[in-house]
Amino acid sequence: MSKTVLIVLIVGSVFVSCEDIFLGENHEADFIELKPTDEMFYWLMRSRNDPAKDPLVLWLTGGPGCGSQMSIFYENGPWHVNDDLTLRKNEYSWNEVANVLYVDQPLGSGFSSTQKPEHRARDQDDVNEALYLFLVKFIEKYPEFKGRNFYITGESYAGHYVPGITAYIISQNNPDMNLISSAIGNGWVNPRTQYPFYRNYAVEHELVSIPLNVLLYAGFYGCKLAIDSGYKVFAYKTCEYLMKTITGSPNEFNVYDITKPCEGFACYDFSNFVNFLERKDVRGIINVGDKPFNMCSGEVFKEMSGDQVNDFQPDVKYALDNGVGVLVYNGDNDFICNWRGSEAWVDEVFWEHQNTFRSAPYQKWVVDGEAAGEYKKVKDLTFIRVYNAGHMVPMDQPKRALEMLKDFIARDFFYQDRATD
């Protein structure tokens, strides 16, 4: 009998050894206690290459209020979930080249929890304080990452999280956090600029009629005025109403990838990973016990509604002004955080090399001899349009996403000095 597989029958169920469930991957999952009532869940994927030397990459899922597990099992984590709730290896996992840290935040997302509702985040300031405290305690627990090259990444509503926590870390001047660069994928960063580009993108892809286009032009001007008024919840509801005039409610097309049908929650069937996380043996290994799992928390989303229309473009500028690189990448089939809107807000960043960046030509981005997209780069700022990808680039174009990460870590995008002003 093989000694590499141990099968134990208990009450008619089959349990496989811990090593085999996760295919021998070097990983650790647990909680960091922020306060006696608050604990934040993390899942650390050690590098498959050189975990002792490779950098630490933090990944933040958006929402707001969505746990990190969807990204782990469908995007850039080490595994995918089979229909029989076993795992298969993801050869394009980001831990091919880095130690990747996934965190469920804000509190109430995923497995993270608080016993006091008043401790839930209501804006990015709350997010920054809790996440920074988590990182301090994480480094205390894992001192091998003290001073290690550190990168912050995320997608969607992480367009708020990533620049926000990046700026906060810079301001703390903590030598234990050697922050090199940040990356925002299909991010929601500057709503005032991005909301009107729903209309532009919809017209470009023939998603709206000409009469509706005329009405939307005026409507999104009103959206801007609502944001400028300072009544944030009112502005959010006003602008979202206009967006839903295009998409329908419920959605009439897949807002995350206009080339695909919309089926199930968030237009995709993610039930396999949710069911996998219900396995008692899995829960034991990742130290969550019988804690409830909130794939995407409606309560967190509601609490953060006043923060939805805030602009985090100034935090991007702050990062650039302090020598921290910024990569913005966008799948071009995404409607909800479309590349046209991202291109516009990136061009608007008021930094030292703004004029040079705005006028810089796009370069071809080639992966394995195929056109993967196009990008432009000046000093520490890079923008990439990823061809044939939707809202979740690592899911739709996993190989390209991994190649992008390699360049991101190797600084190939960030430190080619092409600025002239």
Annotated active-site positions, please? 156, 334, 391
Contact 57, 103 (CB under 8 A): no
Can you spell out the DSSP letters for 53-105?
A: TSPEEEEE--TTTB-SHHHHHHTSSSEEE-TTS-EEE-TT-GGGTSEEEEE--
Q: Which of 76, 46, 32, 21 is nearest to 329 (CA)?
A: 76
Residue 294, φ and ψ in degrees, nearest 5:
-105, 100
Residue corresponding to tokens 């922050």: 179
CA distance 59 to 183: 9
Cα gap 181→397, rounded to integer Å: 22
Q: What are phi and psi of 126, to 5 degrees?
A: -65, -40
CB atoms within 10 A of CB 367: 16
Angstrom distance (rounded) from CA 100 to CA 57: 5
d(CA 167, CA 318) in angstroms, rounded, equals 6
Strand partners, 57: 100, 151
Give the tokens for residue 396: 């739709």
Tokens of 358: 């705005």
Q: Which residues contact 129 (CB under 8 A, 6 or more apart)?
A: none
E strand or H helix at 153, and its extent?
strand 149-155
Check: CB of residue 44 under 8 Å from CB of residue 31: no
- For residue 75 the two structure tokens come to 């995007």
Structure tokens at 19: 């090593």
Q: If 0-12 CB within 10 Å is exposed, 13-18 middle and 19+ buried, where does residue 397 land? A: buried
Q: Are 77 and 276 in contact (CB under 8 A)?
A: no
